[in-house]
Amino acid sequence: MKSKELSLLEKYYGYKSFRKGQENIISTILEGNDTLAIMPTGGGKSICYQIPALIFKGLTIVISPLISLMKDQVDSLKDMGIQGEFINSSISGIEENNVIENIKNGKCKILYIAPERLESLNFLNVISECDISQIAIDEAHCISQWGHDFRTSYTKIVGFIKLLKNRPIITAFTATASEEVREDIIKLLNLNNAKVFITGFDRENLFINVIKSGDKKNYLYNYINNNKESSGIIYAATRKEVDKIYEELNYNGFSATKYHAGLSEKDRNKNQEDFIYDKSGIMVATNAFGMGIDKPNIRFVVHYNMPKNIEGYYQEIGRAGRDGDKSECILLFSPQDVQIQKYLIEQSIENFERKNNQYRKLNEMTDFVYTNECYRKYILDYFGENYGHECENCSNCLNEGELVDKTIDAQKVLSCIYRMKNKFGTGMLMDVLRGSKNKKVLQFKFNELSTYGIMKDYSNEELKNFINTLISHRYISVVNGTYPVLGLNQNSMKVLKSQEKVIFKEFKVEKKAKEDNKLYSILKEIRREFSIENGVPPYVIFGDATLKEMSAKYPMNKEDMLNISGVGEIKYKKYGERFESEIKKFVKDNNIELSDKTKKQEEIKMENIHLEVNSDEKLFDRLDSLRNEIAKKENTIPKMIMSKKSLKEISGRYPRTIDQLKDISGVGPKKIELCGEKLIFTVNDYILENHIEVTWINRKKRNVIIDGEHREDNEIAIDMLKEGKKLSEIFEEIEISISTILGYVTDYIKEFGEINFNLNLEDLYNKEEEVQIIDVCEKIGYEKISAIKKQLPSFIKYESIRAVILKKYYLN
């Protein structure tokens, strides 16, 4: 028998199951507990408070700073037949009075309000007479001055709650909150014995791409040109930059609109509506835009400038792919971005503590851009989430772009800086390298230098981009001041002495294949008509993913239609028959035999979601032996040479060249340099020996499924523990550290509350280590493992720390 929560989910929202974490959060709220939920953007936060609202007898008040989100959410609620209302500055006095009357008459189940409304005596008088069952606080990080979006209006919430005759259940939701911000939320909202849920910050469908070289402008226009059919956001740091990009896009024939605080409220609302209703495909904006935008089919987010902190960056890229489809997040970085953000911090923040905090966050954002490790891992570690492997879905993991040796050109630039005595900026350096005859060049006799005119073949823009790329890879230092000066450093000297090569990636924008699905286009047109007729955005009718599923499965009756994700009883009654009718007509007109339906679906799934690989056991054994030999020679363990997973993929795909080897998951330049030629020799030798015909298929950005294994490492590890396997056996089998496995166990307990397998944790530490670890945890908490490690002697391992924490704080 279905639970009441699941029945409501299916009836109103059309989903057959809850997303990760939703069911546990809803159950906890229904049990009457104050709750803090940290869920990724697009993770389904609203359902977590809306379903309890439908079950509770009284009114649920949702406090949100996001005016656009309120309207979207209430439009969706009303479209599903749920009594929802909102009050904020966008509605007239007459409209507000109508809402108040509905509240008084019990005709409102969920009310969205802006936090400023809590200071209205008229509103307080009405609400004080209502039976309020739940107060849900969205974007709860706004209450913390250590968060990235502190709002003083949020400090009024606790006073408002105290004025109510009966204290309701308090629920708080946010997508981006570090440990210190989470603690602040609980304290400042006075949450009673709050249950905290962290469902994970990861958005697996987002491809994270950071580009530190080349011409931003050309890259952007090439990318937009190749993605004309897609909806996307371009973020820039300043209003001036937004206006410039917007004007150039429109001049070149792109359908773009813009949003920043310098526009009138009327223009902002119109431009936002054009984007939401798909009248304009591209939104160019400052970070003032986007909070609360519920548009699910945003396929790309481009940051034209680096944001000032990781929280803001992750929240902004989270606006892409909310429907779960693959989407791309591109950060176009140049060193000037750091200076722009420093200037904005200086101009906007007066409080000394907050200013220092923002500088710290800017440094962390800069470190993210410069890191050579997996970008996703860096972000998730920042938010305190254990992520013990590479994601294979970011530009660092996939090593996208062609590697080009720029050592000689770099030596020319560095040599010129040296000869100019490290006293000048980029402009003067460019003039000397390009052989300019301007007055200052001649005055300082730079025309007599051996490096004068040595880079005439570079255009002004090309040379500027190249110097910026050298700066962004830290081959050149910048001394800040009124006029920033370029200087040399240790990295520079290694290049000048030919001790280190300068290898840059040159990025090319691939042409995206246009989706050729006639039925999908027809269904989108029907959705657009309903959208206009009902005065709501298209995605309120049905999301893109729902239409794609219809176009693949051809539902032609009520039963089949209700099996489509996103189609519930209410929406079926309003729209179902029209879509059914069009699908029947399409099937008839195109002579489609439904017996081929399963095959078609599988092809769509295969092409768009993953690449199936069956490993060759004999070749794998040879590759494994080779790996062991190299590991012995390098005095390291085999998995540091290459993972078993990568070897299995090689054995099933048979790469015959170095270029093909680069397409294997987890194989980067260092691994290719260390053992690439030996691997290719072994593969080719095996192919010839066994007369194997190889048809090479490029992976592109698809996930690789090896031997039908769809589970993630965490799922495999937990399943093996349930089967009675030891930690050491799991370590050997899937080659992830014991510390990582224990991290998976911790996450499992957080989500499901208990475990039914033995871990033998006492084998991982001694009594003295246990005492030291607990002592540190009692002082600084037990959530942030890296912080605990820093406080302990270096001989205490991560696995010992995790084992003690599990035993002391999770299993007792």
Domain boundaries, the chain: 4-198, 206-399, 403-506, 518-591, 610-706, 713-810
Angle between helices 407-419 and 426-433 (to 10 degrees): 110
Pick from 629, 631, 709, 618: nearest CA to 665: 709
Q: What is the rounded CA–CA span in Å between residue 357 and residue 84?
A: 39
Q: What is the rounded CA–CA span in Å between residue 639 and residue 80?
A: 52
Q: Is residue 86 within 8 Å of residue 74, measured between CB atoms?
A: yes
Q: What is the rounded CA–CA span in Å between residue 215 and residue 332?
A: 9
Q: Is residue 197 within 8 Å of residue 27, measured between CB atoms?
A: no
Q: What is the rounded CA–CA span in Å between residue 746 and residue 596?
A: 45
- Percentages helix, strand, coil for the chain, rounded to the nearest 5? 55, 10, 35
Pick from 404, 367, 369, 417: nearest CA to 501: 404
Residues in a beta bridge with 283: 233, 257
Query: Can you read off the two tokens belonging to residue 761?
Result: 């944790």
Q: What is the rounded CA–CA span in Å between residue 477 and residue 483?
A: 14
CATH fold match for the domains 206-399 and 610-706: no
Q: Is residue 327 within 8 Å of residue 206, measured between CB atoms?
A: yes
Pick from 307, 287, 311: nearest CA to 383: 311
| pLDDT for res 602 | 45
H, E, C per residue of 45-63: HHHHHHHHHHHCCCEEEEE
Pick from 79, 25, 70, 81: nearest CA to 52: 25
| pLDDT for res 395 | 84
Query: Can you read off the two tokens belonging to residue 659?
Result: 């270029």
401 sits in the region (left: phi over 0; alpha: psi -120 to 50; else beta) called: left
Topology, domain 4-198: Rossmann fold (3.40.50)
Residues in a beta bridge with 216: none
Q: Which residues of the chain have pLDDT under 50?
A: 1, 511, 513-515, 598-599, 602-603, 605-607
Q: What are phi and psi of 276, to 5 degrees?
A: -65, -40
Q: Which residue type occupies 388?
A: G
Q: What is the rounded CA–CA span in Å between residue 284 and residue 773?
A: 49
Q: How far is CA 666 from CA 65, 208, 643, 708, in A?
A: 42, 16, 8, 19
Query: Can you read off the two tokens belonging to residue 351?
Result: 């409080």
- The Cβ of residue 370 has, within 10 Å, a number of other Cβ atoms equal to 12
Pick from 141, 90, 144: nearest CA to 112: 90
> What single DSSP character describes residue 573?
I
Q: How far is CA 142 from CA 64, 114, 493, 671, in A?
A: 10, 12, 46, 44
Q: What is the rounded CA–CA span in Å between residue 659 and residue 125?
A: 71
Q: Find the Cα–Cα–Cα–Cα dihedral 779, 781, 785, 790, rounded to 10°.
A: -20
Q: What is the rounded CA–CA span in Å between residue 7 and residue 70?
A: 25
| pLDDT for res 217 | 86
Superfamily of domain 610-706: HRDC domain (1.10.150.80)
| pLDDT for res 291 | 55
Instruction: Name the CATH architecture for the domain at 518-591.
Output: Orthogonal Bundle (1.10)
Topology, domain 403-506: Arc Repressor Mutant, subunit A (1.10.10)
> β-pairing, 84-87 with 110-113?
parallel
| HSE-up (13 A, CA, CB side) for residue 35 | 29
Query: Can you read off the two tokens belonging to residue 296?
Result: 């699910």
Q: Does domain 206-399 have CATH number 3.30.565.10?
A: no
Q: What are phi and psi of 111, to 5 degrees?
A: -115, 125
Q: Is residue 158 within 8 Å of residue 189, measured between CB atoms?
A: yes
173 burial level (CB within 10 Å; 0-12, 13-18, 19+): buried
Q: Is residue 141 within 8 Å of residue 361, measured between CB atoms?
A: no
Residue where the block lists tokens 């007509």:
585
Q: Is residue 327 within 8 Å of residue 299, measured between CB atoms?
A: yes
Query: Can you read off the two tokens belonging to residue 379?
Result: 């972000």
Cα angle for residues 320, 175, 386 (degrees, 5° grid): 100
Entry pTM: 0.57
Pick from 35, 18, 68: nearest CA to 135: 35
